[in-house]
A and B are shown apart, each in its own frame.
Chain A
């Protein structure tokens, strides 16, 4: 990258001497020419949430910097995903910049060729600030953003690690130590459960589809891999069975009644009411947990990494990115916006508001930025999770089917079904779907 910059500079000086480039008004030093696309109008489609809020709140600063007008709209996540796919399929999407969920859409977008390749822009010093380099993104981010040819098809925006939230007060009351392994966690959950008081040791997603995000933490820590080298699905092996047994035990013995229908929202309600002692979910929930208006456990929440399993310790990782539509007519301007979205200023704001975690190490590791984060324990759990991050879903096209089918099997075990039989059945059902999608 450094070499490249120098050669580019030399080149520019050389050409400037010839008197050709001076006419274009390019500065001799290769700095980002932010104003070059002033007057352009960009359409942005965002999924509703703190990331979108963070963009919309400060987008005026981007317009001041570049003179580019931004029309951004936020749509609830499910609908946004559908709208984006339908518009891309039409060949003439109404947006230039798109917010995508890597864990659901990566393969689909790559295979369909809907996103513009950002690699040449990233190498162009007139378009890219020197601090934005690929190596600054965490490994998971690069894994998500790059296709198999090594092209960057989007910029990694915000990562979602799964962490363990626990209620310190309930732990102290029962004299239970914070669990370091999954077995300890199951034991602790049983000890913390007090049905007479309406207190349960553990809560988490039981709802089909949503539950896969939590289940995969167990699966990975039992040594599971989603796909073998040939791309076959592996979620009926011994690791998956062990993970499902743990899931079944935790959610039937130590979780509130009705957990089979819980998504993160119901789980969070139970946790913030002080009815559940432990909760495993995405890192983004610190703000509501520490909000006195919405939570009864303010100041009592502990944050830590997901306990280790017999075959390792991983944090299931999911993430969002921001990319440019291949069909856009304003790719460079759109790229400038993407760059601003993942910039240090915007990333720091996102982190400090607790709305997400930037993929960029330079933001997360900056002591100045860290100072601005209110809950230090939370930040530590984020940093620790980053070190053990592993993708929480298989990178395939039919992700939704995977989550539905295997998720339904896992949920079925909560009403007493046998894990091995259910997983086998789900795998038999899912395998042909996966094969069909890879063939097409």
Chain B
């Protein structure tokens, strides 16, 4: 184009419009800062992580390109495979429990009763605390000999439990902490949903003589479903990357009974200084998160379709 305009100077006037197109788009200067930031803090680290995962990269020794061998190592690494299982169990439990309890709490706090505002405030307090501080307090409460939990159990005649000190109970115990901290978040989101529901359906249900359960099951639940979905999504993302609570309470133990991918990744990269292998774990972990998110989004779409199909 430019060659054309230059070779025919006489036609310059009539070519005014095309020449305008030649000017660099004026929005570029505004895009560049954001682009630089995205490349520097998102794209570059990712490309670099993938590059590291293709190398034998140990702190203190030279690096060599090894292709996919770090990924092959993963497939025969029992600790990694176990860690995937722990992550899935931990995530599933710490999404489900807060969802159920949070919905219940929201329904309760949606009622009008004296002191509701104050109690709501009290209820969301766990959310405001620092996870590591919470973890340290819970560690003391879990102590089988000196902890308050076993003392409380003993008052009602239940024998002492081992909580985070036994491989079989460690994940549920950790989920207990997670649930305690994050149920309020679900409650807040669902409470927002409940406030948006019109009162008419309830009135007509009352006239038709629906039970409390039927009202909840056929009116409340479908109407707050989108909110539950958001809450579930947020919880899933938080739970799958959960690190602080597990690390501060058990460091993945006893043995490796609560070692999630995150904890294992941390050990490999920062305790064994095996950055290449650690990067491979990070890449696989990322793919797993993408997969989980995709499944949830797909489920959400499906839900919309069925809603449309059923005419709701």
Contact = CB atoms under 8 A, between A and B. Distances in A.
Contact of A257 (B79, B162, B170, B270): B162
Contacts of B271: 82, 400, 404
Contact of B61 (A82, A112, A429): A112
Contacts of A266: 143
Contact of B60 (A108, A208, A261, A414): A108
B284 to A, nearest CB: 19
B270 A273 contact: no
Contacts of B67: none
Nearest to B165: A258
A266 B139 CA distance: 10
A270 interface: yes
Interface string B160-202: 1011111110100000000000000000000000000000000
B254 A404 contact: no
Contacts of B167: 260, 415
A96 to B, nearest CB: 20
B145 A89 contact: no
B253 interface: yes
A261 B250 contact: yes
A284 interface: no
A412 interface: yes
B96 to A, nearest CB: 25
Contacts of A412: 255
Contact of A260 (B56, B61, B165): B165
A89 B60 contact: yes
Contacts of B58: 437, 440
A270 B254 contact: no
A85 interface: yes
B49 interface: no
A401 interface: yes
A86 B255 CA distance: 27
A411 B254 CA distance: 7
B60 A112 contact: yes
Given A85-B273, A260-B255, A408-B255, A440 B165 contact: no
B247 to A, nearest CB: 10
Contacts of B166: 258, 260-261, 415
Contacts of A14: none
A269 interface: yes
A401 B166 CA distance: 22
Given A198-B145, A262-B165, A111 B255 contact: no
B246 to A, nearest CB: 13
A355 interface: no
B165 A257 contact: yes
A208 B165 contact: no
A141 interface: no
Contact of B255 (A114, A208, A398, A401): A208
Contact of B272 (A256, A273, A401): A401
Contacts of A309: none
A273 B146 contact: yes
Contacts of A108: 60, 273
B163 A207 contact: no
Contacts of B254: 206-208, 260-261, 411, 414-415
Contacts of A408: 255-256
A275 interface: yes
Interface in B123-177: 143-146, 160, 162-168, 170
B59 interface: yes
A215 B158 CA distance: 34
Given A89-B59, A260-B166, A261-B250, A411 B145 contact: no
A434 to B, nearest CB: 12
Central interface residue in A112, A270, A400, by most chain B CB within 10 Å: A400
Contacts of B272: 398, 400-401
A402 to B, nearest CB: 10
Contacts of A270: 145-146
A7 to B, nearest CB: 39
A16 interface: no
Given A401-B272, A429-B78, A440-B61, A258 B163 contact: yes
A198 to B, nearest CB: 7
A140 interface: no
A270 B255 CA distance: 21
A259 interface: yes
Nearest to A257: B144
A257 B160 contact: yes
A198 B60 CA distance: 49
Nearest to A206: B254
Contacts of B162: 257-258
Interface string A384-427: 00000000000001101100100010011011000000000000
Interface in A260-312: 260-262, 266, 269-270, 273, 275
Given A208-B254, A257-B160, A400-B272, A440 B56 contact: yes
A239 B61 CA distance: 34
B204 interface: no
Contacts of A85: 59-60, 273
Contacts of A112: 60-61
A208 B56 CA distance: 27
A269 B58 CA distance: 38
Interface in B264-281: 267, 270-273
A269 B143 contact: yes
Contacts of B62: 440
B143 A258 contact: yes
Contact of B145 (A88, A256, A415, A429): A256
The 3 closest A-B pairs by CB, nearest first: A258-B165, A261-B165, A258-B144
15 contacts: A85-B59, A89-B59, A206-B254, A208-B253, A258-B143, A258-B144, A258-B162, A258-B165, A260-B167, A261-B166, A273-B145, A273-B146, A400-B267, A411-B254, A437-B58
Given A261-B254, A429-B78, 9 more contacts: A85-B60, A85-B273, A111-B60, A208-B254, A208-B255, A260-B167, A275-B145, A415-B167, A440-B58
